[in-house]
Amino acid sequence: MLYLDNAATTPVRREVLEAMWPYLTSTFGNPSSHHTVGEAAAAGLQDARRRIADVLGTRAGDIVFTSGGTEADNLAVKGLSLAAIHRGRHLVISPIEHEAVAESADYLRRLHGFEVTTVSVDGTGRIDPADFAAALRPDTVLASVMAANNEIGTVQDLTALGGIARSAGVPLHTDAVQAAAWLPLGLDRLGVDALSLSGHKLGGPKGIGVLAVRGALPLEPLVHGGGQERGKRSGTENVAAAVGLATALELAEAERPDASVRVGALRDRFISRVLREVPGARLTGHPEHRLPGIASFVFPGTSGEAVLLELEQRGVVSSSGSACAAGSDDPSPVLLAIGIEPGVAQTAVRLSFTASVSQQELDDAASAVVAAVDSVAGIR
């Protein structure tokens, strides 16, 4: 089996499991307990916090551990907005945000009277900085734009958007869940004030995420209780998973410069062959400003579900897009936002890779895609 659905989840790396093991066995204490076992766990948690902060170019006190990327996005959008409600009730997002951001914004609209402006994207999924600037207002309390899209792989020019937001005095949050392992993540380098990560997208465990938020920004907690995470997110911390996330992030960052170049070249070779050998195939997302690890297509005249089944019969596991929308019969909002017709959007196929993918694997995958689409098109 060739697993090419790594944008949904990745296998846990051996180094990560080894780093986690002591915190599941000998150093298993509650980090809030005031005895030697608890204090050892607390030390491991703080070390993980510091290591993550170093990669993100921020302070350890700016790191809030969550249960995953979805909670981190919810905490950013709701927590930052509600804490600034005295300044205004206006949000700016894009139409291709993850559901965790889009639904959080809609929650604020429905229950707290916020107005949400959705800035359009072009046919490749990129935001025009001029459109973004025009959407910001004196009462805008937050803008949220994902660093790289999980379905089509398009990478935004966050540096430009961050500069615009800063000039307008508007905090900018980015969902960097898919960008981790492929793009530089420093808050200053990206020009953002808050950033969300998820462990299982980069070789870490499921059930752990991070919101990095500059300490000067007030943050209203969503989960109340014992006041853990300096009152920003109550609940006993998952120490082993936090250590695993820190280890996975450090490994990914060390490998990123070489992996991005190597996998990017393999991705381009793969995309070129599919477009050349599959009649009517269309690439979705930006042809250049895209993640090295995502190749996404629509195949008009086929059924995306049928193509995925044919691919699995040929030993290639992939998906149609966001795992969070699995089971929905509706066309992807991301594909609709970039101008793809609803019927064509339902023919989408996304193949996503890790840094360890080989040329032979992608050559084999390309052959499988060509054969699968040909088989489905022949049946129809």
Which residues carry out catalysis?
Answer: 324
* Residue entry with tokens 């992807």: 332
Beta bridge partners, 350, equal: 296, 319
Instruction: Decide: 66 and 233 in contact? Cβ < 8 Å.
Output: yes
Nearest residue to 151 (alpha-carbon basis) of 348, 306, 363: 348
* E strands in 225-332: 282-283, 294-298, 316-317
The DSSP symbol for 325 reads G
What is the SS3 assignment for 187? helix
Instruction: Decide: 127 and 158 in contact? Cβ < 8 Å.
Output: no
Phi-psi region of 235 (alpha: psi -120 to 50; beta: other; left: phi over 0): left
Nearest residue to 56 (alpha-carbon basis) of 201, 208, 207, 245: 245
Give Rg (Cα) of the chain: 21
Classify residue 243 as exposed, middle or buried by CB count within 10 Å of its CB (0-12, 13-18, 19+).
buried
The DSSP result for 213-251, as a single string, is E-TTS----SS-SS-TGGGTS-S---HHHHHHHHHHHHH
Q: Which two tokens stand for residue 191?
A: 């020009």
Measured CA to CA, the distance from residue 144 to residue 147 in angstroms comes to: 10
